Structure 1
Amino acid sequence: MTTHDPLLGAGTRAFLDRLPLEREGGRQLRRLADGGVVGDWFGCELASVFQPIVEPAGGRIAGFEAYLRVHGSGERELSPWALFSSNADDGRLIALDRLARTVHALNFITSVEDDGLLFLNVHGRLLAAVSEDHGAAFRKVLDALGLPPDRIVIETPVSASSQPDLLTFVLRNYRLNGFCTAVNLASPAQWKALSQVVPAHYVKIRGDTLTPGDEGHAETLQSIAQKATVVVTRLEEKTTALPASALAQGYAYGLPAQRAAIAGPERFALRCFAR
């Protein structure tokens, strides 16, 4: 797509057309010749790749999770977590996170034409670094782009699920700002401590924490499915041993790919909903 594609809203086209001039405190968003967007962060280039989240039975795509790719000088690829860790100051960390989310949102909106969801991770340190109103600043970016916040799923890390009080506060903030929310579990057993307090639309759990044939795990997945949509992640082989409403993510269902590869596959509309 180009910035003049009629499928893009006027706000998005205007935003993209201004990108070469957008600078603030050493940060810059830059539009590429193919219509993609990268972020410049003090000598590093931030780019997006997207992994599909699918309906296992039919293979239709419900949405994509965005991952950051970071290139240093000479196109040397860097670890995103190393980049975030090197920004020890909370203010810089918040700015970096918002820049990364904006890059992902722009690459997503210029690639996906339907109502698919975009899953975005939030760095664990940000949960405490932002004292209140989580998601308010990013909501303003989405409003400028014309991208409804209920197409964005803010995903918290596994480490946050060991702090139910903080996690609940943060997720409620995001929901008040119109976002969908997702939590990651370290194991099925962790759900017991979170089930009554965490307002999540999606619960993500790694496939390698589930034991085939374990009735306890099956019961836990069914219990989660009564309150949220289950997403089983890191699946390296396709499986049918999931709750009927569950979604699947992993190499078996699609590798992370650049924006050009995510335009066109069959998808189905899936919006977050109140439980």
Structure 2
Amino acid sequence: MSFPALQDYLARLRDAPVDTSLWLDREGKAYGRYLNATLTSVFQPIREIGAGRIVGMQGFMRSQSHSDDGLSVWKLLDTTATDEQSIELDRLCRLLHTVNFYRQPSLADADLYLSVHARLLAAVDSNHGMSFRRVLDLLGLPWTNVVLQLPTIREDQAWIAHYVADNYRRNGFRLAINVADARQGIEQLRQICPDVVKLDARELNDEGAALQLLEEAEAGNATVIFKRVESTAVRDKLHALQARTGWPVLAQGFLWDVPTAIPHIAETHSDAVRDDLPAAIAS
């Protein structure tokens, strides 16, 4: 799929000096500058287990490196940043991820998952979703394929979550929420009505709650994604859930994929773990 407006924008970036806020390297990878840090994007696939089909990619910010092993610098930068600077960083990350994602034709049909940092829940104004929608419109990119995901919400943040969720929905974005476990997923599925619920697969200790979450999500036309799948034992639990429900189960994790700048999207059987997976994780 071709995006002419994006290609025009990339052509202008190729001539941009490296001391500007956004530029491309020789391979066409986009970088951004925030304070004294050089940042770029990596992506981790979201797969349908058993089939290996890739349905989406989550973008992560990394510091510049010669490989894809740069540091995740949110924690370092966020401790010194003001609310205004955090919003600026968030917008830079979204632009970087969007450019680096859609410059790769092989990814154009997958959904792009972008995180909303916890500090932004209270800091964003009513036009935050509109600003990002305007950027996507200018670049001619399919905003309907972008999923904005909120961090885990505390009880005292519920009103903020509703406010931000409404903001993003009014601007046409789909919404994902991260939850601590399946029971919180059920509660927030009922309260916030997200399009996607993401939960830590390592906390999959209550099979009954997990089944109920999958059932209510199916009834509400929502999706459940199990993240941080890092062992075959957790993978086997997901297969058991899939066998019980008969529905596809979506997951992401180091068991299959490390985040990379240029993901390999060839559909492989998702039971095949990475060749370089440490024994302590693969067991």
- Bin for the TM-score computed over the shorter chain: 0.7 to 0.9
Q: Among 136, 158, 164, which residue is 2:152 paired with? A: 158
The alignment partner of 1:119 has SS state of: strand
Show the counterpart of 2:271: none
Are the aligned partners of 1:184 and 1:203 in contact in 2 as well (CA < 8 Å)? yes
RMSD (Å), alpha carbons: 2.5
Show the counterpart of 2:278: none
Show the counterpart of 1:107: 100
- When normalised by structure 1's length, the TM-score is 0.83
Matched, 1:33 2:26: yes
> How far apart, CA to CA, are the structure 1 residues paired with 2:72 and 2:250?
27
Show the counterpart of 2:187: 193
The alpha carbon displacement at 1:200 in A equals 0.9
Question: Gaps (5+ residues) in structure 1?
Answer: 1-6, 268-275
Question: Gaps (5+ residues) in structure 2?
Answer: 269-283
Matched, 1:80 2:80: no
Are the aligned partners of 1:30 and 1:40 in contact in 2 as well (CA < 8 Å)? no
Show the counterpart of 2:213: 220
Show the counterpart of 1:251: 254
* Equivalent position amino acid for 2:118 in 1: G
Are the aligned partners of 2:153 and 2:161 in contact in 1 as well (CA < 8 Å)? no
Q: How many pairs align?
A: 254
> How far apart, CA to CA, are the structure 1 residues paired with 2:162 and 2:5?
33
Show the counterpart of 1:12: 6
- Cα distance change, pair 84–217 in 1 and its aligned pair in 2 (3 A): same
Matched, 1:128 2:118: no
> How far apart, CA to CA, are the structure 2 residues paired with 1:160 and 1:16?
40
- Cα distance change, pair 220–77 in 1 and its aligned pair in 2 (3 A): closer
Structure 2 counterparts to residues 254-269 of structure 1, below 5 A: 254-259=257-262, 261-262=263-264, 264-266=265-267
- Cα distance change, pair 157–140 in 1 and its aligned pair in 2 (3 A): same
The alignment partner of 1:135 has SS state of: helix
Are the aligned partners of 2:14 and 2:25 in contact in 1 as well (CA < 8 Å)? no
Q: State the Cα deviation string for residues 176-234 of structure 1 (Å, max 9, x = none).
A: 1111110011111213432332131100011111127x323322332233221000111
The alpha carbon displacement at 1:140 in A equals 1.4
Q: State the Cα deviation string for residues 120-139 of structure 1 (Å, max 9, x = none).
A: 00111111111213311111
> How far apart, CA to CA, are the structure 1 residues paired with 2:203 and 2:227?
10
Q: What is the percent sequence identity of the aligned residues?
A: 34
